[in-house]
Amino acid sequence: MNLLSAKNLSHTFEYELFHDVSLDLAPKDSIAIIGISGSGKSTLLHILSTLLKADSGSVELFGEDTSNMNKKKLGQIKRDSLGLVFQSHYLFKGFSAYENLEVAAMLSNQDIEETLLQRLGIDECIRQKVTELSGGQQQRVSIARVLTKKPRIIFADEPTGNLDKNTANEVMKLFFEYCDTHNAAMVLVTHDETLAHMCKKVYRLENKELVRVN
């Protein structure tokens, strides 16, 4: 069973961004969506992750159409099974980095793994306030927070935008390892075609259509 199936999605803001977009996401899949600024990549990601509703079409999560779910069930799926990483970290600024992870761990009934903090290079700054961290450190904390939840699908919108090349590559490697070991999957939106082609499947959103690149 696919973790996600999007069928015939179309969406318009001031102009039509895309139409008749379909996409399937299987366990252990990693899919990258590339395209120029304004092509609708982030909007499509928001629709796939149920943050936004498409004008037409459907999104199924774990075999069930999200439009048929009540708010409580959809909210539970978002909390327990979906992990969202954005270029902006959206951390709780009044908390320490570790306290941010504790909130995620408590809500998802998971543990904070020391090896994860070490892999992301934040183990030595984890007790500092978020406001005391650099932009790159804040981004790595936000990635740790998502992975601490143990999501079944990771939605990542330019997740390495604030990171140097080596750290970005390590983060991508961590995502892929996570998907393989947890039978999870990832949808990545990025301008970086080098990062995109690290994924198993690459799609380009252009001329209002989603086209498979590899």
25-35 pLDDT tens trace: 999 999 999 99
Task: Give me the pLDDT at residue 27, please.
Answer: 98
In tens, the pLDDT along 28-65 reads 999 999 999 989 999 999 999 999 999 999 999 999 99
In tens, the pLDDT along 142-183 reads 999 999 999 999 999 999 888 899 999 999 999 999 999 999
In angstroms, the CA 25 to CA 102 distance is 29
Task: Give me the pLDDT at residue 88, please.
Answer: 77
In tens, the pLDDT along 93-123 reads 999 999 999 999 998 999 999 999 999 999 9
More confident residue, 88 or 34: 34
Task: Give me the pLDDT at residue 66, please.
Answer: 97
Task: Give me the pLDDT at residue 86, please.
Answer: 87
Task: Give me the pLDDT at residue 64, please.
Answer: 96
Task: Give me the pLDDT at residue 171, please.
Answer: 94
For residue 36, give the nearest of 189, 195, 212, 201 by alpha carbon: 189
In tens, the pLDDT along 7-23 reads 999 999 889 999 999 99
43-47: long-range contacts, CB 8 A cutoff, minimum separation 24: 43/11, 43/13, 43/17, 44/9, 44/11, 44/17, 44/18, 44/189, 44/205, 44/210, 45/155, 45/157, 45/187, 45/189, 47/6, 47/9, 47/11
- Residues composing the chain: 214
With a pLDDT cut of 70, the percent of the chain lying above it is: 100
Structural domains in the chain (count): 1
pLDDT band at 68 (very low <50, low <70, confident <90, very high): very high
Task: Give me the pLDDT at residue 6, please.
Answer: 98
Task: Give me the pLDDT at residue 89, please.
Answer: 77
Q: What's the domain range around 148? A: 4-212
CATH of residue 129's domain is 3.40.50.300
